[in-house]
Every structure is written in structure tokens, then in C-alpha cells.
A and B are shown apart, each in its own frame.
Chain A
Amino acid sequence: MCGIAGIVFKDKKLHPVGRFMTHMLIALQHRGPDSAGFAIYGGLGLEENEYLLNIEVKEKPKLLEEVKSRVSAAFPIESEEIIPSVENYNIYRCKVSLNSFSQLKPLIMDIDKIDDVIVLNGAHSFEMIKDVGLVKDIAARYDTESKLGTHAIGHTRFSTESIVDRYHAHPFQSYIIPDITVVHNGQITNYWKIRDPLERKGHTFETTNDTECIVHYIADKLAQKYSLEEALEESVKDMDGPFSYVVGTPNGVGIAKDQLGLRPGVMAENDEVFAIASEEVALREVMDTSEIDQISPGETRAYTI
């Protein structure tokens, strides 16, 4: 059992999306205490080809210097920040300017070669915040309530198959195209049937977590010029198992639910906001819920701005 949520402000303007998503995830805390995460879109204000890296670095002498050296040897570091986390780890955040998006994944893979270091993500149009522990602690650590944006997705994790750590916290991101993220509640039981063709196309998997499989699947469809709605509909046909998941893209949010409807999903909408979540209790944090829709088995919903 995990908690998933998504919110879009329809006017495309900046809103306190971080605060809303924080409250939605606190309301969903009972669905998963292991880790939590946010992808907050639209508020970073980066220049073209600028990317923000979140790098988990163990507290060891000279390790951070090694990371900085590795990054700066490839691309100049424009700004940096250190966020102390728990269990003797820090999150090193730096902004780099690349020549193109295609340089991002190789840079990440190069940094990942350093022992006790892993790049949690690299993004242009959204801010990724994910860590182990409870939402309220993560929210305080990263000041999520201050984050502005146009839309966001979020997650509270109750781990089933894979390890509990920062990297396996949701959202997961794909680098097939820029800035695609997924949060997920459930299991994809035909995992290898989905993964194999994606790998044969050259897409790189970093874990055996099924959520990573979903995010690459969706990114691959979007790369083939499927719309978000079409990609979601295809996934429902192709994927087996109990699942509901939420996708974040640079211009929207969508949800898909398995054909037997074995994982929950509800949504509410008004003139200003489109919101989806595992349970009504999260929707109540952002709008009046006198009218909510149950997402039906096999159904998808999406809103793009």
C-alpha cells in the first residue's frame, strides 16, 4: 500500500504547490511510512540547458570534494547547496549548464561510479525532493511548503519488493525524454515483458523496481509522440497486476488504474484545480470534495496545461 497524489493549477501560473502537496501527502501518511517524495514542476526557473542535480553523498572525508571535482571536470557548477539528510548522508545539489539534454544521463552515470554516491535525479523543469522517513520530517528538511510551481506529483511509500532508500523512494524519473516522473501504488506482474522491449531499444534500467519500468514505458511512448492520455491508455492495456500510478510531465499530470481496479484512485476538479489521489482525505486538503469521481478499473485521467 502506498499513497499517490497529483495536482495541477489550470491557469499555468505559480502557486504554493509545495504546500498543497505536502498537506496531501501528510493526509496519505498512513498509506506508507518508509519514504516520501515530490516532483514539483514549473518553479525552478532554469535557463535553457540548465539542470539541477540531486546527489546523495555519504559523510566521508573528501568524498564531497571528489563529487564536485567530477562534476566540474565535465561542466561548470553554477550554484550549489548541501542539504543534511539522515543516516550520515547529505544531499548535494548543484546547478550545471549542459550543451544538450543528451549529456545529462552520461553525466549522471559517471558520477554514480563514485563509491557511496548516487545521483537521485537531474531535472530542468521540476524539483525532485525524495527521502526516507515521514512526510513531515522530509517537508521540514527540504522546506517543501515554500516551493512554488504549476503542478506536482507526490508519494508516500510502503515498500513491498524493493529496498527502502532514497533512490528507491518515488518519484522515479526517466531520461528517455526530459523530466518525466512517476509515483506508483501497486505491482506490475508482467514486469519483464514490459522491460525487455524497452531494454532492447537501448533504454537503461538502474533498478529492478517496477515503478522505474512504468516511467520508462511512459517516457518511451511520449518520445514516440503519443499524447499523455494515449500513453496512459496503452499502459493499461499492456501492464498486468494491481496498480494505480500518477505521471508528471513538464506540462501535466495523469493517472492510470489497472483493469481490475485493485488499487484506489479518486479525483476532483474545479475551475482552478485538477487533483488526483489515492483517497479523498488528500483531495480535501486542496478543494471542496462534495463531488469526487472514483477512477474506474482500466480508466485513465489526465490534465495538461
Chain B
Amino acid sequence: MQEFKIDANQKTPREVNRSLRQAATENDLITIENPNAMHYLAAGLIEPVEVIIDGSAGYFVGTMIHGARLHINGNAGWFPADNMTAGEVIIDGSAGDGVGQGIYGGIVVVRKDVGSRTGEIMKNGTIIVGGNSGFMSGLYMMGGRIVVLGDISDDAGESIIRGAIYVGGDIKSLGKNAKVEELDPEERIELKELLTKYDFELKEEKYHKFRKIVPRSARPFYGQESEEG
């Protein structure tokens, strides 16, 4: 395995990302040291490389990546993995608003709490939150799945169109066009496989507490259900 290290200290995000893109073509594992909550780290990275961010990242970490696998040892700011099309972003700490905003694919894992609007306008892919998720999680969600092991705050699934939000804790309130359903056994098995793969060790009874938030209608604002393809 070919490894490379980038020291972000005293560098701008553009300098770090330029070094990262160059190193990504020739290495399998790249470690970014001293990230100091810097914004835009690994933006637009399209090589299938593994990147360890050894500390906290700022806003838009991993935005628009396609195939890269990022592991952030600390926290992340707003919009981690924004518009990702494929790949993996794992955050060991907490994260701010808009986790996985607009993702088309791939997986985002945050082990602690996240802020508001988790997974807003996401089209596909998976977001796992180990703690609680804030206000309007799944806002205008159009596909994919969000899994929240803790509680979900007000207006969950606001204007959700497609996809599902799995919640292991309390649902404070639902947004417009959102409803709550029970999981069927197959979904529970699928959920367990997913969470086990990402090292979440849950007791069996916890899986029976999960419920899912889904849309009431695929055409809630205009048009008719029959028009839905």
C-alpha cells in the first residue's frame, strides 16, 4: 500500500486540495495532518483513494467526491459530503447542519450528534447518525435513507418526497407530507446488517424500537399520484 502525508498547517484549503489531488493518483492512503477545522477539505476528489483527516474538518468536507473514502477523526462543520455521488465519509465526532446535503449516492456516517436539515434534498445514498439529528431532518428528501440512532427533532421529514428516515429514538414532530410507519422484518434485518457493518453494536430490542418516516404522497404540492413514474 502506497501512503502519503500532507501537513495542512499554514496551508490554504486550495493548497491542501491541490496536494491531495496530485497524491491521490499515486497513493492508496493519504493522511491530512493538522487540519484545524479547515473548510473544503477533499472537495471534488474523484480518485478511489482512502483519506484520513487527522482531526476536525470545517464546512463542506468531502463535497462532490466521487468514490473517495474519507475518515475524519474529529468533528465536521456544516454540509459534510454535500452532493457526493459515490464514496464514503465517516466522521468520528459530531457534525453541523446539512450532513449529506443533496447526495446522489455513497454513505455518510456521523458517530455523534448532528445539526439541522440532515440529508436535505438528498436523492440517493445513505446517512447514518449515531446520536441525535436536528430540526427538519430529511427536508425535501427525494430518495435514499437516513438512519438516526437517537432522537430526531421538530419537523422531521419536512416535505419529504421519496426515501425513508429510520429513527431509533423519539420523533419530536413530523413535517408536512411525512408519516410514521413500522418496519417490516426484512427492513429490520437490512438495518442490522448496515449498522453492524459500520461498527454500531445495538441490542436486539433496539432494532424493534426503530420506526421509519416516509412520505404521505409523492406529489404533495401539485399534480396527481398517477403521474408519478
Contacts and interface: CB of A to CB of B under 8 A. Distances in A.
B220 to A, nearest CB: 21
Contacts of B74: 289-290
Interface stretch (B23-31, B41-49, B93-101, B197-205): B93-101
Which of B37, B39, B59, B134 is the most central at the interface, judged by chain A CB atoms within 10 Å of its CB? B37
Given A280-B56, A296-B135, A297-B134, A30 B39 contact: yes
B50 interface: no
B58 A264 contact: no
Contact of B97 (A30, A261, A290): A261
A88 B154 CA distance: 53
B55 to A, nearest CB: 9
A260 B115 CA distance: 12
Given A261-B116, A297-B135, 15 more contacts: A260-B135, A261-B97, A261-B115, A261-B134, A261-B135, A264-B97, A281-B58, A284-B37, A289-B37, A289-B74, A291-B94, A294-B94, A294-B113, A294-B116, A297-B116
A296 B56 contact: no
Interface string A261-305: 100101000000000000111001000011111101100000000
B153 A289 contact: no
A266 B96 contact: yes
B36 interface: yes
Interface string B109-123: 000011111000000
B75 interface: yes
Size category of the binding interface on chain A:
10 to 19
B38 interface: yes
Nearest to B92: A290
18 contacts: A261-B97, A261-B117, A261-B134, A266-B96, A280-B56, A280-B58, A280-B75, A281-B37, A289-B56, A289-B74, A290-B74, A292-B75, A294-B113, A294-B114, A294-B134, A296-B115, A296-B134, A296-B135
A280 B56 CA distance: 8
- Give the dominant DSSP class at B's interface: loop
When A and B form their complex, which 6 residue pairs have the shortest distance between CB atoms, in order from nearest?
A281-B37, A294-B115, A280-B37, A261-B116, A297-B135, A294-B96
B170 to A, nearest CB: 15
Interface in B1-53: 36-39
A294 B118 CA distance: 13
Contact of B37 (A260, A279, A294): A279
Contacts of B115: 261, 294, 296
Nearest to B154: A297
B60 interface: no
A284 B56 contact: yes
Interface of B: 36-39, 56, 58-59, 74-75, 77-78, 93-94, 96-97, 113-117, 134-135, 153
Contacts of B96: 264, 266, 294
A83 to B, nearest CB: 30
A113 B59 CA distance: 46
Contacts of B36: 281, 284
A230 to B, nearest CB: 22
Contacts of B78: 264
A204 B217 CA distance: 53
A98 to B, nearest CB: 44
A17 B98 CA distance: 33
Contacts of A284: 36-37, 56
Contacts of B94: 291-294
A260 B74 CA distance: 26
Nearest to B37: A281
Nearest to A259: B135
A294 B56 contact: no
Interface string A104-128: 0000000000000000000000000
A279 B94 CA distance: 13
Nearest to B57: A280
